[in-house]
Amino acid sequence: MVGKILRVNMRELTVRYEDLPDKYLLFGGRALTSALVADEVPPGAHALGENNKLVIAPGLLSGTTAPCSGRLSVGAKSPLTGTIKESNAGGITAQKVACLGIRAIVVEGRPAGDGFHLLVVGEDEAKLLPAGDLTGMGCYRLNEELWKRYGTKSGVISVGPAGEMRMVVAGVSTNDGEGHPGRYAGRGGLGAVMGSKGLKAIVVRTDKAFDVPVKNREAFKEAARKFAKAIAEHPVTNAALPAYGTAVLINILNEAGGLPTRNFSDGQFEAAALCSGEALAETVQKRGGKGRTGHVCHPGCLIRCSNIFADEKGEAVCAPVEYESAWALGPNCGISDLDHIAVLNRLCNDVGLDTIETGVTLGVLMEAGVLAFGDGEAAIDLLDREVRNGTPLGRILGGGAEAAGKLFGLTRVPTVKGQGMPAYDPRAVKGIGVTYATSTMGADHTAGYSVTSNILKVGGFVDPLSPAGQVDLSRNLQIATAAVDATGLCLFTAFPLLDVDYALPSVVDMLNAQYGVNLTVGDVVDYGKEILKTERAFNRAAGFTKAHDRLPEFMRHEKLAPHGVTFDVPDEKLDEVFNF
């Protein structure tokens, strides 16, 4: 039950197991990655240097039959923001890592030479091998090759050429059940950290998915049944997401005037309907072939918000095209052609780029006149030719939106702590603005998803255009999200967790049954607070102050159409978010 830490020393090229320390017994996912980074990485360390560590951890519930519990957390000091960072992804790997009894993989040190390595982890051993001809491969070809060598049940964690070149827009890829590499721990440049360690990929070899020990199986089974019922009964998780995927939000945010368009210069996109979740679902259905909606990203997923987008011949292009990606590579760049968006998404997956940071950076480059808004073909060429090959222009894009804005002397650069803002304009969705400003990890919608109450009226309603109530909303969601990220549960379980009275107690009951403890709902709330305290302490030691918990200046004076609003939550109120 306690599990092991797998330590991978890339300087010595050694692999060893050690027992999980008792203090980490009830730490999983984000709680464990952040704790290990805070305990073992000097806050002043260079993010791409010898002293940073990459930590990979399944959630507390991963590897069990808990619904929607297949998220994998990846953590390190971020080379993009300079803060502590956790990013998590779906796919098949988290459950496999958990079933091998591994609570965390810690990758440390840097190799003496320039070569890349492959870590293979199986039932009986873990070993490092030279990556050889795998070096330089895009993630699609890489996944195909690794499945040929190690079997089609293998989980693959990898970086593309962008990670190898240590571009701070690089993410960490994981694969789904079909072998698509599009499940990304994308944010914060963690792919650059993995690349800096000389680690091309990790292969996890086991057929198991639901084999983690549970102390009280009957109690766990009953709690899991209740939680599944809550997911099945909520209209967002039982209807909207399976039918249209997360891109259902395109039309919703456009209607609300909060869909950032052409580098955050407008809140509505005139062609939003052409790249919406509804249009995507219709296109997939019309084309048939390998395309599908209602796709699962990992075993045990009940929400099925994923999709496989096919071309006109029915061949798979990308799995999935999600809201953030469709927005970043679409409306934010003035692009409405779903085929262009899907190809851009695939290129991000293949080259190994975070779709959000890539799209935000493209928007900044379009603002600078490097390419024109709406020019999907030029954007495709930029990713496929320039970024993949590490040309000077490709490295500018690979350096992220803030760096691009500085290079071209722009003032409309939508970043916080160096990280590009996701698909909700803070001027029209003010709660998400509070989260962007104050999150421990730079602009990050998943840190405290106020869109629930601001736009979707889940968990109550807080007027998105008014500053009133936004700080309390963001604070409570940031606390809750930190706890959810530790469990390995998908963030979209937040919808029933916020609205169904028995949903959260059922999660607590699952934890108690699995680990033989007696947690309360209050304990889980305190758990979320402690995660945030750990992360904020690291950031303070790294030199971050309340002055960094701010949105870019233009959002306080540049009015956003159609509502003519600015971001007007006072700075002194932002400073109250972490008053616990």
pLDDT in tens, 128-153: 999 999 999 999 999 999 999 999 99
Mean per-residue pLDDT for 277-284? 97
Q: How confident is the model at residue 53 (pLDDT cuts 50, 70, 90)?
A: very high
Alpha-carbon distance 188 to 33, whole Å? 14
Please check whether residue 407 is in contact with residue 529, taking contact to mean a CB–CB distance below 8 angstroms: no
Amino acid 2: pLDDT? 73
Amino acid 449: pLDDT? 97
Alpha-carbon distance 403 to 450, whole Å? 28
Which of 327, 561, 331, 551 is closest to 430 using CA atoms? 551
Alpha-carbon distance 31 to 526, whole Å? 12
**Could you give the residue ranges of the DSSP H alpha helices within 258-303?**
277-287
Which of 418, 426, 448 is closest to 568 using CA atoms? 426
Mean per-residue pLDDT for 20-46? 97
Mean per-residue pLDDT for 503-510? 98
Q: What is the mean pLDDT of the chain?
A: 97
Find all residues with CB under 8 Å of 395, minimum gap 6, and list them: 165, 167, 387
Mean per-residue pLDDT for 392-410? 98
Alpha-carbon distance 48 to 355, whole Å? 21
Alpha-carbon distance 140 to 178, whole Å? 11
Which of 396, 397, 313 is closest to 348 using CA atoms? 397
Q: Give the SS3 label for residue 404.
A: helix
Query: Residue 517: how many CB atoms within 10 A of its CB?
Result: 13
Mean per-residue pLDDT for 308-312? 97
Give the tokens for residue 262: 């052409």
For helices 29-40 and 470-487, give the axis angle rounded to 10 degrees: 90
Find all residues with CB under 8 Å of 107, minimum gap 6, and list them: 8, 10, 53, 54, 55, 56, 194, 197, 199
Amino acid 124: pLDDT? 87
∠ CA 492-187-210, nearest 5°, is 50
Q: How confident is the model at residue 113 (pLDDT cuts 50, 70, 90)?
A: confident
Give the tokens for residue 433: 């603005």
Q: Does residue 114 have a pLDDT over 90?
A: no
Find all residues with CB under 8 Å of 330, minimum gap 6, and list them: 250, 269, 275, 336, 341, 359
Mean per-residue pLDDT for 1-16? 93
Mean per-residue pLDDT for 323-338? 98
Alpha-carbon distance 165 to 79, whole Å? 13
Alpha-carbon distance 141 to 352, whole Å? 12
Q: How confident is the model at residue 530 (pLDDT cuts 50, 70, 90)?
A: very high
Alpha-carbon distance 394 to 389, whole Å? 7
Amino acid 1: pLDDT? 53
Q: Does residue 409 have a pLDDT over 90?
A: yes
Mean per-residue pLDDT for 342-352? 98
Mean per-residue pLDDT for 277-294? 96
Domains in the chain, start-ordered, CATH in brackets? 4-204 (3.60.9.10)
Alpha-carbon distance 21 to 154, whole Å? 28
Which of 342, 378, 398 is closest to 160 using CA atoms? 398
Strands 415-416 and 4-9: unpaired
252-275 as b/e: b if 16+ CB within 10 A: bbbebbbbbbbbbbbbbbebbebb
- Identity at 173, one-letter amino acid code: S
Q: What is the CA radius of gyration of the chain?
A: 22
Alpha-carbon distance 485 to 498, whole Å? 15
Element containing residue 201 per DSSP (H, E): strand 199-204
Q: Give the SS3 label for residue 245.
A: coil
Alpha-carbon distance 482 to 525, whole Å? 9
At which residue do the structure tokens 């493209």 appear? Answer: 362
For helices 355-367 and 338-351, give the axis angle rounded to 10 degrees: 120
Give the tokens for residue 222: 């009953």
pTM above 0.95, yes or no: yes
Alpha-carbon distance 578 to 572, whole Å? 12
Percentage of residues in the chain with pLDDT exceeding 90?
A: 98
